[in-house]
């Protein structure tokens, strides 16, 4: 067996990953806090005021990364679900189950901050345009996945059913991403992705990218924190979990 295969099988081992997650958690959590602090300070205190939106534009430093993460986490959920569905890898099922509430939180945050931003900018808290509606559907997909996990007692069966739902829901992601180009919406077109001629000034772009990185590290921290108790719940009858818990009980 090659070294790559050995490494893969080792990472896929629930006892090994439980231990690894515990070691990575404080580092990931500390890094995310630093990035959040620096990104928010630059974005809220140092970045210049927008000539059209004033200081109200600063909500993008939370809204935009949250919206990006709402889709990214769903991709993680769908890929992990597919791996668990095809190869029946327990760790993939654990990752999918742990990711769903985090993704739902990012999606809700994106919708809430978007509404707060939309009121002074557009004159309304909500409008049923393509971007907002498809993002709301994404929240319902997360909630549906979580409800399905709760409704089915057997975790393996719940994981397979959730994987099917997650894979079907992937079709909503390109609708969210391209809705501004396909239909007339209140949202502006791409800005950060236009590297040849960016539509956002560098002084505003840097804190936005820092916040995007902070959200990504936060997701890693949150998913690692949720994976550990999920592994224990799945493996509570195994010998290694009993050996882990018995010293604590004594």
- pLDDT per position as a tens digit, 23-63: 999 999 999 999 999 999 999 999 999 888 889 899 999 99
Q: Is residue 212 part of a domain?
A: yes
How far is the C-alpha of 192 from the C-alpha of 77, rounded, in Å?
25
What percent of the chain has a predicted confidence (pLDDT) above 90? Answer: 70
Residue 219 inside a domain? The answer is: yes
pLDDT tens, residue by residue, 183-234: 766 666 566 554 455 568 899 999 999 999 999 999 999 999 999 999 999 9
6 part of a folded domain: no
Q: Does the residue 4 lie in any domain?
A: no
Range(s) of the domain holding residue 126: 17-249
Average predicted confidence (pLDDT) for the chain? 90
Residue 80 domain-assigned (yes or no): yes
Is residue 10 domain-resident? Answer: no
Residue 12, domain member (yes or no) = no
- The number of distinct structural domains making up the chain is 1
Q: What is the pLDDT of residue 179?
A: 83
pLDDT of the residue at 242: 85
Mean pLDDT for the stretch of residues 237-242: 88
Q: Is the pLDDT of residue 154 over 70?
A: yes
Residue 114 domain-assigned (yes or no): yes
Question: What pLDDT was estimated at residue 195?
Answer: 47
Q: pTM for the whole thing?
A: 0.93
């Amino acid at each position: 067996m090659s070294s790559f295969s050995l490494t893969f099988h080792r990472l896929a081992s629930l006892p090994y990953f439980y231990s690894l997650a515990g070691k990575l958690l404080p580092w990931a959590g500390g890094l995310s806090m630093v990035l959040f602090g620096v990104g928010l300070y630059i974005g809220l205190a140092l970045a210049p005021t927008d000539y059209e939106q004033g200081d109200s534009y600063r909500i993008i430093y939370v809204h935009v990364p949250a919206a990006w993460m709402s889709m990214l986490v769903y991709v993680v959920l769908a890929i992990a679900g597919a791996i668990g569905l095809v190869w029946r890898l327990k760790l993939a099922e654990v990752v999918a189950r742990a990711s769903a509430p985090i993704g739902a939180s990012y999606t809700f945050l994106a919708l809430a901050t978007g509404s707060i931003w939309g009121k002074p900018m557009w004159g309304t808290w909500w409008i049923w345009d393509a971007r907002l509606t498809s993002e709301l559907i994404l929240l319902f997909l997360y909630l549906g996945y979580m409800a399905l996990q709760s409704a089915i007692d057997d975790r393996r069966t719940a994981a397979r059913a959730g994987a099917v739902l997650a894979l079907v829901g992937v079709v909503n992601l390109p609708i969210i991403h391209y809705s501004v180009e396909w239909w007339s919406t209140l949202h502006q077109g791409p800005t950060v992705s236009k590297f040849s001629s960016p539509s956002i000034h560098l002084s505003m772009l840097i804190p936005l990218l820092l916040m995007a990185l902070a959200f990504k590290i936060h997701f890693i921290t949150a998913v690692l924190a949720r994976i550990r108790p999920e592994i224990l719940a799945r493996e509570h009858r195994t010998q290694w979990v009993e050996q882990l818990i018995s010293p604590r009980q004594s």
